[in-house]
Structures are given as structure tokens and as C-alpha cells.
Chains A and B, each alone.
Chain A
Amino acid sequence: MGYFDVPEINYTRYSNRQLAAVPLAVLAVALLVLTGSFLVTGTPVQLGMDFAGGSELTVQTTSSEDEIANAFDEEPESVQAVTAPDTENQYIVQFTSTDLSALSEQAETNLEQDGDNDIVQLESTVSESFGAQTQQTALLGIAAAFLGMSVLAFLLFRTFVPSIAIVVSAFSDIVIPLAFMAVAGISLSLGTVAALLMLIGYSVDSDILLNNHILRRQGDFYESTTRAMETGVTMTVTSMSAMLVMGVTAWLFGVELLASIGIILFVGLAADLMNTYMLNLSLLRWYKFHGVRS
């Protein structure tokens, strides 16, 4: 069986410009995607039920997916089958309407009961105005978290370039998964907001590690980098694999909150690998060899 080793990259072959170009290009594309989506739909990312309002039912029924789609007066936004041990015939149905009692009534009259189970297993609704408020609160939360993180980064390193490197790569770590969501059609929910905030924490970990090894330790730049990478890449890849497992199983089981947290963290951590070891590294190398003296 293959062991997991962190590959050593020969950074001397690439100039700072070359290194920084890739992550900056990806960031630019991500921003472009978000702007495009904003111009077309009015929001950078499709808003989920938590923010836009709407209803969701989890139904247990022997009716087919098509029958479920036709059982309601309003066409459902989506119907997703739940795949989990000991669970059959369970579907999650989402609507834009917020008339929950009408929806659950239609479900109960038009769907076939599966044994003695209740047809409607979960019903949930968020009104539009409640969602709009949640949206503001969430934006405020992300802004506050980001600001707090930036201030802390400056306090920790007290020099401009290494600190701004952390802030820029954390920013990119959030923007890239957002663009991924816009492209993959994942809508923004409370779970994904939690994941984005969690990303701030996770992404700063590896940045601090790298900065710390390069700036505060003795020894050659490339030696320090290799050591920081050994630890940092192990960390990030371990977290990524845990998040992927959590995301995929939770998605199969229909546990939306855990699924969105898992998938978004996976994508964000992948972005973080690139940002830390290309963008952040090139900034640090520039700072170490040119910035300090000037």
C-alpha cells in the first residue's frame, strides 16, 4: 500500500511572478464568476432556503420521484432521494413557497404511505423577511470574523508583507469556494457560512506555520519551506480527507448541514494548499530576499 509523503518541490526553478501568477489568476477567475453571477441573478451565489426563504419537506413514501414532483400544486425546486442504511423511500423536497401547512397537506393526500411511517418526516419553512435578516446577520458575521483575523495576523507578525500575505490568502480561500458554489449550483446556507468561517481558521493555520518557519527560525529559506510544507501539507490533506468523507456520507444520508460544511471545507482547503504554497510563499520569498533590505 502506498504511504503518504509530502512531495518536495524545487522552488528555485520558478520566479516569484510565476508562482504568484497561478493563484492570482484563479482568484481573478473566481471573482469574475461571482461578478457574472451577480450581474445575471442579482446575488453572487445562489441563496438557499435559510437566506431566501422557502420550505422543505422530508417525505417517506412509496411514490416515485416523478409522482412526488407532481404531487404538489407548486413545482418543487428539487427532489433528492436519501441513501442511507436502513432507509428507503425517503426524499427531501424543496419549495420556494412558504405555505407549509398547504404543502404538508398536499403531501399527505397525494403520496402513498410507506407502511406505518408518517409521510411527512420533516417540515421546515423560512419566511422571506426572516431569511433577509439572516442574510444580513451572516454577512456581518463573516465581515467581523475576517476583520478580527486580519487584526490578529498583524499583531502576530507585526510586519506588513507577511501579515498581508495571510490576509490575502485567507480572502482567496473564501472567494474560491464561493465561486465553486456558484458554478456547482450549491446554494448558500447556514451550513456553508459556517464552513466559510471555519475556513478562515483552518487556512490561517498553515499560513502561520509557514510564516513562522521562514521568519522566526534560523536556516536556509528553502530548508525552512520544506519543513513547513511537510507539516502543513500533512495537516491540510488530513483535514481535507476527513471533510470529504464527512461531506459525501452526509450528502448520501441527506443531512444537509453536515454535507455542505464538508464539501465547502474540502474545496476551500484545496484552494488553501495552492494559496499558501504559491501565493504566500512567493510573497515571503520576495520579502525575505528583497523586502527586508529596502
Chain B
Amino acid sequence: MGPISFVKEYWRILLLVGFVSGALLALFIPGGIMADDSLVEDESVDDNPTNLEYGLGLDGGTRISAPVIGMTAEDIDAGAVDDEDGTVDRERLTEIENTLYDELDLDTGNASVSVDDDGNVHAEVFTHEVTEEEFAAALAEADVEVDPDDIRDGVSAQTRDQIVETIQSQINAAGLSGGDAYESARLGGDYYIVTEVPDMDPDELRELLSERGVVEVRAYHPDGNGSHTNETVLEGEDIVQVDPPEPAERGTGYSVPVQVDSNAAPHFQERMNELGFTSEGIGQCSLRGDGETINFDHADTDEQYCLLTVVDGEVVDAHSMGDLADGMSAGTWANDPSFVMGAQSQQQAQTLSVNLQAGALPAPLDFGQEQTLSLSPALADQFKLYSLIIGTLSVLTVSGMVFLRYRDVRVAAPMVVTAMAEVLILLGFAALIRMPLDLSHVAGFIAVVGTGVDDLIIIADEVMDDGEVNSQKVFESRFRKAFWIIGAAAATTIIAMSPLAVLSLGDLRGFAIITILGVLIGVLITRPAYGDILQRLLTDK
């Protein structure tokens, strides 16, 4: 037999062998076939003998999903975008934003007016405390007419992207490898922000997520009428580079050296000079803290010039202007705008540094509507073991039933082997695309064995129908008949499962995807091969 006729004769089996070897390679070659380790943190230290990736349910960790608090007036007629050339009037946007802050009495960071890529202007407020009517009225103050009914719950796509990015950099900056954040669409246009980290309990993660991380520097100074006032002189976004925190050079506490953005630096310098921080205010700050917040009790006659570090509205540190005063009053500081932000403890300094690096969360998350899952690594290991046991037992049961029914090892053994090959190919595929496996996928694997064996039974019964299979022709025609049923059954399973694969029903997505893939692999690769094997064995060719 020549090589070509050999391939022609055995192509179904060869295809199966090819796929199984491919799966084995994908599973066991270190690094995997697509050795793209740039995506994965250093996991070579893992004691994982295969290339399979495990999801939260089999590896431990915490996942919190929560929607974003806020409402949006979409595509408002702000008169800020030129219809002709698409240029954007930034000042007009800031004007609307400031009107929103004033009218609605919002905290810093709780209003946003932005332009998306298509040139549509969206106004958003990020709080529960404002109604649609109030929001519309505030916009009207800024000469933007919006019907309260057109204001929807939720925030814009841009804001969600920013939130996801910020959370990602927050978990990276906090030194948590393997964490991830993404958005998940729900029915009815709602979106949830999903955060997953391997080594944190839900309380810690919720704390990380509930801190907006809005950093400001405020100048606290005498207002000239016998009392004190403060004004924001620097915001988190004005800070471009952050160095690791270090113990303060003078006194107690810690400092975070930063670089101020060159566009913001001159204004900051000017305000410092105007307010007297660089002249009479030098060294004039005696406010002290208790390690957490700052005590503002002092006599009004006792003039204070303090730079306050404010995180999410909480004053965490106060200190006076020091060495930088000379450069500022001379006007040269802005050429090399390095600045030091203070913190009382190392913990605070660390948080401050993370917040500055990651930026502020554009909008808060609504933990009243959260969904949380947290699993200890020990229990996750148990689940891995259980999945293996449950899977093995199910396969053994199926094999046992098949042997009892056919009493013929020639029919039953290839059946079991083929069904296993199907699972192996699926596992290889999961390793190849680095699909993180969870319990739902395990259920999918077992379902695949179930449907797989069903179809093999159909093939076996059909082929062995009415006595001996004595010719190729008889076999082919019977096999084709069997295949019509299998194809129809596969099509229904795929149709029944596809809503689950598309809808965001959490755990079930993995189950549906594995089942659909398994059915496809079965119909296209393993089941035809089983037919071939059975034919060889029965016709004694």
C-alpha cells in the first residue's frame, strides 16, 4: 500500500491521532506551544505539571462584581464641539463641569463632562444623592437643555474603561500578581465591573475598591479676616511621576517624592507665592496628627501656612513649605518641579503612592449590588482533587455500562478510548488558548463524555444492525445513516447551549463553551474515527 492510499484509507484515524498528539504537546510541553509568557507572570515556579490554567474556582482568590454609581446625560448639546472641523472647546467643558459642582454641591471627582471619539459630549455625575431632575436642572444652569427622562443610570463607556484601567493599575501597584479587572454586560444595558485577585480576602479587596484614591494638595492659610481657609492647589492628575515612599528627612512621618506636571507647575508656584507660603509662611505649620488624621484645633490668631495632603476628602498630613520656597519665590522651581507629599505612616505613604500612580477611580462602585466569591487556596486544591475524582468515577461508570451492554471488548473498549480522547483534545485546546478552568468547565467535560458516548452508541448500534458487516459499501451506508442522527443531535445541543455561551450568566459560560466545543470536536474528529476503528475490527480487514 502506497503512502497516499494509506492516508486515504485511514485519514479519520490519522486525524484523531494528530489531534491527540497535538493536545498532549499543548498540555505537557513546558511553556506551551504558544510560548507567550509575556502575558503570564512568572509561573514557572508553579508545581503544576500541565500547562492548564485554573480559574478562581480551582485556584483560590477573590472576585467582586459591582456596578458603577452614577448617571449619564448622553450626547448633550453643549456647543463645545465644532460641527465643521470637530475641534473641542475644552474651556466650555470645564465650565459645564464647574457649574455641575456648584449647583449640585458635589465632592471632587464626582462630575465629568467629556467628549468621546465620535465627538459626542456626555455629562456624568457619580453619586446617589442627586436625582435626574436635579441633574437636568444643573445642566440647564449651564445652558444645556436635557429632558430628565433622557438621563440614564450608569456611566459612559469611557468612564468604565478608565475604571477598569485604574483598578488594574491599582492591583498591580499593590503588588498583586495575577489580578485582573474587566467589565461584564448584563441584560438591560447595565454593566458590572469585575475584579479578580488571587491573594486577598473580600474585605481587603472591597476596601481597595471602595477607596476612590482622589488625591489633592490643599493650601491651608489665614484668610485675612482672622480665621483660616483652604483651597485646592494641586490635584492627582497634576502629578506625573511618583517615586517610592521614604522616611521623611526631618521629624517623623514619611514622604513621597513626586514630579508636578510642567503645565500645572507655574500656576502652583504662582499661588504659593500669592498666598504667602514662600515668604511669611515658611515653616509656619504646627498642625500635628494622630497617625490617621490631622488635628485642626488652634487659635485663630495663631497663623498657619500648611500644605495638606488630602485623600478621598480625608486630610492625612499637614506640613509647611520648606526648602522649595526659595526656588518658588525666585520663579525657577517650575523649571524643575519636584515636590514632596507627606504622609504620617509608612502604610499611608504606600497608599498615597499607589493612588498617585494608579490615578483616581473615576466613579465609585455600588457595593449594595455586589456579587462576591472568595475561595481559599486550600479549598481550591480540594476542589481540583474532587473534580478529578468525580470525573474519573463518571467515566468509569460510563465504561462499565458500555461493557455490560455490549459484552464485546472490541466494541466497548474503543468507545471508552474515543470518549477519553475527546476530553484530552478539549483539555489540550484549553491549555493552548490558556482558558482558565473552573468547576463549570469540569461539568462541561463530564457532559461531553456523556453526549460523546451517546453518539458512539448510536454509531455502534447502527453499524452492527442486521448482522454482519461484510462489505465496505454496507458499512459506509450505515455509517452515513448514523451520522445523520448524530449531526441532528449535535445541532440541537449546540443550539440549546449557545444562549448560555453568549449571555453573561457567570459560571455557566464556561460550561456552555466547553460543551459546544466538545460536541464540535466529537462530530468532526473523534466520532468519525470511532466508525473507522469499529469497521476495521468488525470487518477483519
Known contacts being A148-B496, A201-B497, A239-B454, is A118 close to B376, with CB within 8 Å? yes
Tell whether, in the assembled complex, residue B389 and residue A127 are in contact, meaning their CB atoms are under 8 Å apart: no
The residues of B that contact A144 with a CB separation of less than 8 Å are 499
Known contacts being A204-B489, A250-B386, is A100 close to B398, with CB within 8 Å? no
Bits for A128-157, please: 1 = Cβ < 8 Å to B, else 0.
Answer: 011001101110111011101100110010
Tell whether, in the assembled complex, residue B485 and residue A212 are in contact, meaning their CB atoms are under 8 Å apart: yes
8 nearest A-B residue pairs (beta carbon): A201-B493, A148-B495, A141-B499, A200-B496, A231-B461, A121-B379, A4-B404, A124-B373
The residues of A that contact B187 with a CB separation of less than 8 Å are 133, 136-137, 140
Known contacts being A118-B376, A235-B454, A255-B386, is A193 close to B393, with CB within 8 Å? no
Q: Give A227 to B493 CA distance when docked, in angstroms.
A: 23
Residues of B whose CB lies within 8 Å of any CB of A are: 65, 186-188, 190, 192, 201-203, 206, 368-376, 378-379, 382-383, 385-387, 389-390, 393-395, 397-398, 400-402, 404-405, 407, 439-440, 442-443, 446-447, 449-451, 453-454, 457-458, 461-462, 465, 484-485, 488-489, 491-493, 495-500, 503-508, 511-512, 515
Complex partner residue of B390 from A2, A86, A127, A249, CB under 8 angstroms: A249
Taking CB atoms and an 8 Å cut-off, the chain A residues in 206-233 that contact chain B are 208-209, 212, 227, 230-231
Taking CB atoms and an 8 Å cut-off, the chain A residues in 235-294 that contact chain B are 235, 237-239, 241-246, 249-250, 253, 255, 257-258, 261
Complex partner residue of A201 from B400, B446, B489, B505, CB under 8 angstroms: B489
Of all chain B residues, which has the CB nearest A127? B369
Q: Give A57 to B429 CA distance when docked, in angstroms.
A: 33
Shortest beta-carbon distance from B466 to chain A in Å: 9
Can you give 16 A-B contacts (C-beta < 8 A)?
A: A100-B202, A121-B375, A121-B376, A122-B379, A123-B372, A130-B370, A141-B503, A144-B499, A149-B496, A152-B491, A201-B451, A201-B492, A238-B454, A242-B401, A245-B390, A261-B443
Shortest beta-carbon distance from A243 to chain B in Å: 7
Residues of A whose CB lies within 8 Å of any CB of B are: 2-5, 50, 58, 84-87, 100-101, 104, 117-118, 120-127, 129-130, 133-134, 136-138, 140-142, 144-146, 148-149, 152-153, 156, 190-191, 193-194, 197-198, 200-202, 204-205, 208-209, 212, 227, 230-231, 234-235, 237-239, 241-246, 249-250, 253, 255, 257-258, 261
Q: Give A250 to B201 CA distance when docked, in angstroms.
A: 26
Shortest beta-carbon distance from B533 to chain A in Å: 19
Known contacts being A84-B382, A100-B202, A125-B372, is A4 close to B489, with CB within 8 Å? no
Complex partner residue of B440 from A153, A201, A227, A257, CB under 8 angstroms: A257
